[in-house]
């Protein structure tokens, strides 16, 4: 019984340690951020890409049926064939997911770059000491004399 209390106490210390809580918060925020980025790609970027290329960049239904279920007479698309139990070589679905991944990775890269730029600007503003009042006054006088 005493060893179980020891294990429970050890687990409790582990669970409430700062980095475990930080990790949990990171996972939750990451999941929410993932949904935002997924929506950005699906709802904003892909329509623009589709408009620019003059059609849909969706190869999901490009496939090769390897085995078809007996007496199947449904639509010849990826969703219905796989639901019916057909074995398909879904190269188009893989290509669509790959394109979406590349776009997603590019957007995340851009967002991280933007955040890092903003963070560096904030840090540089924090590090710059305020200009003493007498120096500011002397600079103002200098600028007025130049005119």
pLDDT, tens digit, for every residue of 59-110?
A: 888 899 999 988 888 898 888 998 999 999 999 888 888 887 888 788 888 8
Percent of the chain, pLDDT > 90?
A: 16
Closest CA to 60 of 100, 87, 103, 107: 100
Neighbours of 96 (CB within 10 A): 19
């Amino acid at each position: 019984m005493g060893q179980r209390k020891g294990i429970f106490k050890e687990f409790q210390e582990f669970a409430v340690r700062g980095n475990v809580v930080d990790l949990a918060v990171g996972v939750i925020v990451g999941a929410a951020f993932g949904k935002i980025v997924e929506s950005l790609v699906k709802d904003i970027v892909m329509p623009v890409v589709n408009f620019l290329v003059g059609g849909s960049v969706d190869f999901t239904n490009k496939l090769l049926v390897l085995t078809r279920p007996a007496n199947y007479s449904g639509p010849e698309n990826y969703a219905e064939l796989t639901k019916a139990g057909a074995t398909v070589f879904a190269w188009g679905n893989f290509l669509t997911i790959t394109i979406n991944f590349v776009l997603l990775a590019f957007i995340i890269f851009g967002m991280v770059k933007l955040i890092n730029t903003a963070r560096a600007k904030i840090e540089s503003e924090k590090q710059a000491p305020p200009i003493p009042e007498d120096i500011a006054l002397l600079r103002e006088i200098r600028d007025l004399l130049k005119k």
